[in-house]
C-alpha cells in the first residue's frame, strides 16, 4: 500500500531538519567577520605599540643630545624641522637614524621648548608652529614629538567600532584620513656646558 502525499511531505520535512551538510558554511559565515575584525585589531594594536616604542626611544636619544650640549657644539638648530632632520631622521655619520624605517619622518612634528621649572607646567604644543628652543646650560627643556600613525581599518578602533566624526575612539581625522595621534616626550635640565641659545 502506497504512502499518502501528507506522509511523504512529513518525511521530507524531517529529513530536511536533520540535514547538516551546510552547517559548516553557515557557522563560518557567522564567525568570519568577527575573526577578521579581531585579526585587524591585533595587527593595529601591535603596530601602534611598536610605533610608540620607536617614538619614545627617538625622543630620549634626541633629548640626550640637547642635554649634553652636542646640539650646541654643532651650531644649534634653525627650526624644529631642521632638528628633526639632522638629529632624528637623517643624522650625520657616525650617528644613525633613531626612528624605525617604517615611520615616515615627513609626518613627524618635533617641538623643543624651555620651561621655567619642572613644576611650572607643560607649554602648549602648537603643531602648526613648533618651537626649537634648545636653551642653555642649566635650562629646563621639554622635547616632544607627534606622529599620525596610519590605520589599517578606519572603521575599527582599539576599543570597538567607530562612527563618522572628527575624533572617535582615539582616531583623529587629518586631511580626511583617519589616523592615531602618537606622541612621546622627555623633560630634563641641561648639563653645565658652555654657551646658551636665545628662545
Instruction: Read off the pLDDT of residues 136-173 as tens digits, 9 standing for 90 and up.
Output: 888 899 999 999 888 776 666 544 454 444 445 567 77
Q: Does residue 36 sit within a domain? A: yes
- Compute the mean pLDDT over every residue in the chain, rounded to the nearest whole number: 78
Q: Give the mean pLDDT of 80-107.
A: 84
113 in any annotated domain: yes
The domain of 123 spans: 25-189
The pLDDT of residue 110? 92
Per-residue b or e along 91-105, where b marks 16 or more CB atoms closer than 10 Å to that residue's CB: beeeeeebbeeebeb
Q: How far is it, in rounded angstroms, from Cα 25 to Cα 18?
A: 16
Query: Do the domain assignments include residue 56?
Result: yes
| Contact predicate 118/181, CB 8 Å | no
- State residue 37's pLDDT score: 80
Indicate whether 5 belongs to any domain: no
pLDDT (mean) for 174-189: 83
How far apart CA 53 and CA 151 sit, in angstroms, is 17
Provide the number of structural domains found in the chain.
1
pLDDT confidence of residue 145: 92
Residue 100 lies inside a defined structural domain of this protein: yes
Q: What is the mean predicted confidence (pLDDT) over 73-79?
A: 80
Residue 76 lies in a domain: yes
Taking CA atoms, 50 is separated from 20, 77, 94, in Å, by 45, 29, 25
Q: What CA–CA distance (Å, rounded) separates 193 from 191?
A: 6
Section 96-125 average pLDDT: 82
Whether 11 is covered by a domain: the verdict is no
Is residue 130 in a domain?
yes
Q: What is the mean pLDDT of residues 21-34?
A: 78
Assess whether pLDDT exceeds 60 at residue 2: no
**Residue 71 cell numbers, joined:** 646640539
**If 0-12 CB within 10 Å is exposed, 13-18 middle and 19+ buried, where does residue 113 land?**
buried
Instruction: Identify the pLDDT of residue 144.
Output: 92
Amino acid at each position: 500500500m502506497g504512502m499518502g502525499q501528507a506522509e511523504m511531505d512529513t518525511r521530507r520535512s524531517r529529513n530536511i531538519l536533520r540535514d547538516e551538510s551546510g552547517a559548516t558554511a553557515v557557522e563560518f559565515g557567522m564567525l568570519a567577520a568577527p575573526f577578521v575584525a579581531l585579526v585587524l585589531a591585533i595587527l593595529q594594536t601591535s603596530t601602534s605599540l611598536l610605533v610608540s616604542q620607536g617614538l619614545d626611544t627617538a625622543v630620549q636619544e634626541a633629548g640626550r643630545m640637547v642635554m649634553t650640549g652636542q646640539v650646541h657644539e654643532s651650531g644649534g638648530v634653525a627650526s624644529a624641522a631642521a632638528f628633526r632632520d639632522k638629529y632624528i631622521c637623517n643624522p650625520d655619520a657616525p650617528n644613525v637614524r633613531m626612528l624605525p624605517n617604517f615611520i615616515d619622518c615627513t609626518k613627524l612634528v618635533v617641538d623643543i621648548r624651555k620651561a621655567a621649572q619642572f613644576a611650572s607646567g607643560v607649554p602648549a604644543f602648537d603643531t602648526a608652529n613648533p618651537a626649537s628652543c634648545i636653551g642653555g646650560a642649566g635650562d629646563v627643556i621639554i622635547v616632544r614629538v607627534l606622529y599620525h600613525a596610519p590605520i589599517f581599518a578606519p572603521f575599527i578602533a582599539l576599543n570597538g567600532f567607530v562612527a563618522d566624526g572628527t575624533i572617535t575612539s582615539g582616531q583623529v581625522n587629518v586631511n580626511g584620513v583617519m589616523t592615531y595621534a602618537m606622541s612621546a616626550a622627555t623633560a630634563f635640565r641641561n648639563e653645565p656646558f658652555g654657551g646658551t641659545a636665545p628662545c
